[in-house]
Amino acid sequence: MVDANDRARAPESIFIKVVPWVWALASWLCGGIALVFCFRGQGHHYWWILTAGAVPVLRLLVSTEYRKLVREVFVSCWQSLAEFHANPASVPWRAVILYGCLPFAILFLANTKKQVGDNVPVFLAAGSIVRDGNVELSEYLGLPQWSSLGNDEKGLNYSLVRTPGGVYSNYPSGPLQIAAPVALVSRCVGANFDIITVHDRLQKFSAVLLASACLGLFFLLALHLVPPTHAWIATLMLGVASAMFSTLAMGIWQHGGVVFWSLVFLVAEFRQAPRSSWAWTLAQGLALGWMVPWRPTSVLVALPLAIWLACRSPKRVLLVGALAAAAYLPWGCFYYSCYGNVLGPSHTQAHVDNWMWDSPDGYLGVLFSPGRGMFVFQPWLILALLWTWPAVWPTSESPRGQPGWGGLLALSGAIVLLNVVTVGAWRCWWGGWCYGSRLTSDTLALAALLCVQPVAYLWRFPIGRAIVVGLIALGFLIHASSVYFGADNWNGAHGDIDANWALLWRWDDPPFLYPILKHFHGRDPSTP
């Protein structure tokens, strides 16, 4: 016999059992809708985030049990990160994604900023691959929205080149490693590659995936050095106060792949420390082989890493080298079929006439120019000068017991210096119409790696915390000026910056202050 109280409790118990399933179904449904629109390149990027997050956020507001569950997940993941730092055995991938990738992916997508330039042909080629099975781009030139591509005496944009086989990208095709898979999924859900806004949105989405993956790998690498709090602060520094935020996450520039594959190589090397693994060895070979197609200067990263590996494991370097050669072989064949050489279209940039080794302008500009200087646009790089100071390596947290850390940090510094010297000697060391220190961003993560231990040391003191927070805040404001307020329009406001590169030294009118100066002086970006 069921009494009145039981009957009253029955609907409540049914509600409790059913509602979580309803919430979960609604969450998956909204997330699926957001992904479809995302891969179709429809709607602004922040609408994808709002669509995917609306139900979970609403559930957080109305459900105490769900808030408790979410809190437990975050606490559990953080605890797994602390355990990993103490004993780096199994990688807590869920925690790395939750803390090292997801927050930055949301930040990078939550704006409408896009950057086009050298990366214009990337999604043109990606669309051609999934639609026509080739990377020939002449079919796009007849479309009205691509008419701006024909602006030289040959009817081509500087980012394209005409060969006997047709029209191709004038820049390396390494970015297709991320663009082609995204384009394939996009094609499957019905994306229209003849619409320019679809290209722009898919290119930014691809760049965000790559940049957030880089930050996740950097976070994982930093966990080998310092506890989770300090590792996350260092990752935040790289993610929001560097060219990672204003450039690499805004479009598929060639630098992103160099950063990604160098981090894959390093993570794989230190995952070999607990026990040797063929999977990590394979990852290292792929990393070296697939890094080079992104950018010719990636050799300045790949070769030192290979030499470092040879010093650590002479036998294994032979296998990794063979795997790297096998990984690059398809790219070499691809380049040869399109451009007639195995190095790709950018090999001409290495011509002897393009270098000015005896001029200090480029070296100083790459480091300290208010228009392109590394230390100006990443002010936290000053912390890298502290990593050799013995006090920065407290005994209780010293990673020196882990094989190779001292050599790795020295190697990172050498690679960064080599990159600076090479970029500084190039005839166009400022990188054309870009924002900040784009050309030196290949080694951005390695430079940040030098700052991880100094961040951990300074965080122990109130004044040290203020310094770290201040440097991150300053770097964020410098890059947010471009992301949110159009500071990159500074180039157009001064005419052709390539012909007036001396303006890059003007402290009274630096790019990061351009939105403020424009507001007070009323200067139009299109007016020299």
pLDDT of residue 319: 93
For residue 477, tell me if it sits in a domain.
Answer: yes
For residue 172, tell me if it sits in a domain.
Answer: yes
For residue 324, tell me if it sits in a domain.
Answer: yes
pLDDT for 1 beyond 50: no
pLDDT of residue 21: 79
pLDDT for 279 beyond 60: yes
454-469: pLDDT as tens digits: 999 999 999 999 999 9
Confidence label for 527 from pLDDT (cuts 50, 70 and 90): very low
pLDDT for 9 beyond 70: no
Residue type, 426: W
Residue 288 sits at φ, ψ, to 5 deg, of -70, -40
Which of 328, 290, 335 lies closest to 135 in space, CA to CA?
335
- Residue-number span of the structural domain to which 350 is assigned: 120-484
Contact 88, 274 (CB under 8 A): yes
pLDDT (mean) for 343-357: 77
For residue 344, tell me if it sits in a domain.
Answer: yes
pLDDT for 35 beyond 50: yes
For residue 52, tell me if it sits in a domain.
Answer: no
For residue 69, tell me if it sits in a domain.
Answer: no
Confidence label for 401 from pLDDT (cuts 50, 70 and 90): very low
Confidence label for 528 from pLDDT (cuts 50, 70 and 90): very low
pLDDT for 340 beyond 60: yes
pLDDT (mean) for 246-254: 91
In the chain, the number of structural domains is 1
pLDDT of residue 3: 56
Q: Report residue 307 as tokens.
A: 């030499």
pLDDT for 373 beyond 60: yes
For residue 42, tell me if it sits in a domain.
Answer: no
Contact 267, 93 (CB under 8 A): no
Contact 20, 63 (CB under 8 A): no
139-178: pLDDT as tens digits: 877 665 555 555 555 567 778 888 888 888 888 999 999 9
